[in-house]
Amino acid sequence: MTDRPRRALLSAYDKTGMVELGRALVDLGWELVSSGGTARVLAEAGLPVVPTEQVTGFPEMLGHRVVTLHPAIHGGILADRNDPSHVADMATYDVVPIDLVAVNLYPFSSEPSVELIDVGGPTMVRAAAKNHAHVTVLVDPADYDPVLAELRDAGDVSATTRRRLARDAFAHTAAYDSVIVDWFDRGDAGELAPSPGHESRGQLPPTIHLSARLAQPLRYGENPHQHGARYTFAGTSCWDSAVIHGGKEMSYLNVYDADAAWRLVWSLGSQPAAVVIKHANPCGAAIGDDIAAAYVRAHECDPVSAFGGIVAVNRPVTHAMAEALAPVFTEVVVAPGFDDDALLVLLEKRNLRVLTVPEPVVPTLDVRSVEGGLLVQTRDVVTVDLSQWEVVTDRSPTEAEWADLEFAWRVAARVTSNTIVLAKDGQAVGIGAGQQNRRDAGRIAAEKADGRAVGGACASDAFFPFRDGLDAAAEAGATAVIQPGGSVRDEEVIAAADEQGMAMVFTGERHFKH
């Protein structure tokens, strides 16, 4: 056995670099074993290939469901060459050791179906990773060249490299399985029977299998002494497609705040919209006739807080908007595109991060960490359905008030609780965010509005527990109020609105955000 050529098993859906890998191995004196499409690609390139059916004695069968599931293959992968009993078994059953396995899996997420659930591939990958003391496992074409370099330079792959590749292999199969589990949980495979003890779980699954890859190292974490990075779930993040045109590297808070801004601006409807975010909360939000006007109006809400903020818009940035933004110290600007002359203006700001990002994909679950586990909930979807909202006062909102109520409600749902949002003519004019009581939130919003809320709308993310919150909105000049309702003092609050001649709408749904 010591004089045999080393054997590599190559079987990949993604055949990037496979011919080059095979040719290099053959040049190094290795023997290639392969099946199906990979074997054809290698043979067409003029490389000598041993078909798997020649190794197993069985042809591919069951519509390619069974190809490599055979002791002649898995014995060769799993054999411990230092164990005499394993060596004896190989001799008895004529099993040839396999020293390298290069496999990647059917792309299940591209077109999920039962037939794209790979069985043989993960089995070979896991077997090779388990036996990494003797076998090199490759699941990523990016690893082909470094491994070949080690083989050429040292004649073998180092134990350190094999361990790292084994770790990556198990991560590869874990990620693959997590996508399949998610497919079942979404109901795409058909309705699931409740798991024992989870009959009332609603839309939440009995287990959660998260698999994320390192997508973006960050300058630092929430503070400079912390490490930070962005990880992504396969195929779900708009940030994976972001184009950074200029500026410093992103930090943890840059990404966190940019994500908050990006989600909010796309939730404000179909008109040109802009938001300014500071510490994950909007300090400005507005719609406008064009994107430059929307940005100027958003900035006007709270120019002091906008210093060092994150700007997001839902239209390509024009030269006019860039000229308006340039004098303001801004950390990040995010947009679906930039006009060429706008980029020229913005890239003159050396530290300004300028990002083109596609429209966000809203995940189905909201996940955050707690000690020893996770808190999980379904996403908070803001439903604007006027037919389901209830006018509870003597007076109904005017058409202009309805528009401001809807706008203020969308903004309030994305502000940290407790929150009060004052808005007028599609512009947030006062935002009170993250207060321990609603009265303080209203006071802060009114102070920031400074008289600009007269004739506008007030949105409260949860019910007013006392009439003093309603009175504060009236004092700020708001003539219409939107809130969930549901307080034991609703009648008292409604009476206060009627006293003030205000229109008030109950949505029946609160939007706490912590």
Residue-level pLDDT at 209:
83
The rounded mean pLDDT for the chain is: 90
Q: Pairing relation of β-strands 229-233 and 212-217?
A: antiparallel
Mean pLDDT of the 292-299 span: 98
The CATH number assigned to the domain with range 390-506 reads 3.40.140.20
Domain with CATH 3.40.140.20 in the chain: 239-356, 390-506
Q: Is 111 exposed, middle or buried (0-12, 13-18, 19+ CB in 10 A)?
A: exposed
Q: What is the pTM of this model?
A: 0.82
Quick check: 404 pLDDT over 90?
yes
pLDDT of residue 200: 46
pLDDT-based confidence at residue 186 (cuts at 50, 70, 90)? confident
Q: Give the pLDDT score at 91.
A: 87
- Residue 73 is predicted with a pLDDT of 85
Evaluate if residue 401 carries a pLDDT over 90: yes
Q: Kindly state the helix (H) or strand (E) to which residue 355 belongs, with its residue range.
A: strand 353-356
Q: Please name every residue paired with 333 in a beta bridge, in sequence order, or none if there are none.
A: 311, 354
**pLDDT tens digits, one per residue of 115-142:** 777 777 888 899 999 999 999 999 999 9
**Nearest to residue 118, comparing CAs of 101, 104, 138?**
104
Decide if pLDDT at 61 tops 80: no
- Measured in whole angstroms, the distance separating CA 352 from the mean position of its chain's CA atoms is 24
CATH 3.40.50.720: does it fit domain 7-183? no
CA gap 427, 413 in Å, rounded: 15
251 with 308: CB under 8 angstroms? no
Closest C-alpha among 344, 345, 323, 322 to residue 335: 322
Sorting pLDDT into bands at 50, 70 and 90, what band is 52? confident
- Residues 384 and 497: beta-carbon distance below 8 Å: no
Distance CA 373, CA 368 (A): 9
Q: Comparing 95-104, 186-195, 476-485, which segment has the lowest mean pLDDT?
A: 186-195
Q: Count CB neighbours of 316 within 10 A.
A: 14
Mean pLDDT (whole number) for 298-314: 96
Average pLDDT on 315-342 reads 97
Put residue 467 in one of left, alpha, beta given phi > 0 → left and psi -120 to 50 → alpha.
Answer: alpha
Dihedral angle sign, alpha carbons of residues 145, 150, 156, 157: negative
For the chain, percent of residues with pLDDT exceeding 70: 95
pLDDT of residue 192: 61
What pLDDT, in 10s, does the model give residues 249-280?
999 999 999 999 999 999 999 999 999 999 99
Q: What is the CATH number of domain 239-356?
A: 3.40.140.20
| Average pLDDT of span 336-363 | 93
- Buried/exposed code over 363-385 (b: 16+ C-beta within 10 A; e: otherwise): eebeeeeeeeeeeeeeeeebeee
pLDDT digits (tens, 9 = 90+) for 68-113: 778 888 888 988 888 899 989 888 988 889 999 999 887 776 677 7
Please identify every residue annotated as catalytic: 130, 279
pLDDT class of 55 with cuts at 50, 70, 90: confident
Residue 1's pLDDT is what? 45
pLDDT surpasses 60 at 335: yes
293 pLDDT tier (thresholds 50, 70, 90):
very high
Name the 3-class secondary structure at 458: strand
**What backbone torsions phi and psi does residue 108 show, to the nearest 5 degrees?**
-55, -40
pLDDT range class, residue 366, cuts 50, 70, 90: confident
pLDDT at residue number 106: 72
Alpha-carbon distances, residue 335 vs 137, 312, 321, 332, 429 (angstroms) = 41, 6, 12, 10, 23
